[in-house]
Amino acid sequence: MRFDHRGIGDSAGTSTFVELSPDIRSAIDALIDYCPQVTEIVLWGLCDAASAAMMYAPTDKRVKGLVLLNPWVRSEQTLARSYFRGYYVRRLLSSGFWKQLMSGNLKLGRALGSIANDARSAISTAKASHEATGAQTQGSLPGQFQVRMMNGLRDFPGRVLIVLSGNDITADEFRTFANSRREYRRLLCRDGLELKSIAESDHTFSTKKWRNQVILWSEEWVTSW
C-alpha cells in the first residue's frame, strides 16, 4: 500500500518526516482494518521516508521488515565530508590526474589549487542547499533525527534491506554518517541486515534497469523469509 502522509498529495495538513510516526501507524491500522488477514508489515521507503521508517519501526510489533533506499541523514558535516571526497579525494585518486601530472602537462600546485577551489565551491553550494531544505525540519529535531534513526535501527528486531545508489550525494552522506561511529558500523553488520548498492544509480533509481533491480532485490528479500 502506498499512502500520502500529511501535507503530501491528497492528504491535508502539514508535517515533516521526523513527525510521521502517527501517519505510518494510521496507514498500517487502515490496511489491517481493510485486510484483516495481514499480520506482518514491511515498510519500504526512499530518502526521508526511509528515515521515518527507521524511527518508527521499533515502536510497532506488526512491522517485521524494512526496505530502506538512500536514507536521509543530511547535515552540514555529512555534506561537507561527502563533497570533499567527491571533488577532492576522488580526483586525486584518478589515474587521469596522475598521468597528466607525470607527463608534465599539469603543474602540481596549480592542479591542487584548482581541485581545492572546486571542492570549496561545491561545499558552499551544498551548504546553501542544506539551509534551504533544512527549513522543512527545523523545530522538530529532538535528540537529532540522525541519532534517532540509528537508535531505531538498533532497537528494531526485524529484518532490514538497505539499498544505496553509487551516484548520489544522499547515499554518500548515509555512508559517511554510518561510518562515523563504531557502533553504527556494527549495526550495518548485524544479523538480519543486508546492504546492497547499484554503482551507477542516481538518487531515485530513475532508469528502468535500476528500478527493476530494486524491485527484484525487494521481492527476493521479502520472499526469502
Mean pLDDT in residue range 184-200: 95
38: left (phi over 0), alpha (psi -120 to 50) or beta: beta
**Boundaries of every domain in the chain:** 39-74+143-223, 76-134
SS3 state at 36: coil
pLDDT of residue 133: 44
**CATH classification for the domain delimited by 39-74+143-223, as one of 3.40.50.1980, 1.20.1440.130, 3.40.50.1820, 3.90.1150.10:** 3.40.50.1820
Using the structure block, give the residue that is written with the C-alpha cell 515533516: 16
Give the whole-angstrom CA distance, residue 204 versus residue 67: 14
DSSP string over 134-171: HTTTTT--TT-HHHHHHHHHHH--SEEEEEEESS-HHH
Structure pTM? 0.76
105-132 pLDDT tens trace? 555 555 555 555 655 555 555 455 444 4
63-122 pLDDT tens trace? 999 999 999 998 766 666 666 565 555 555 566 555 655 665 555 555 555 555 655 555
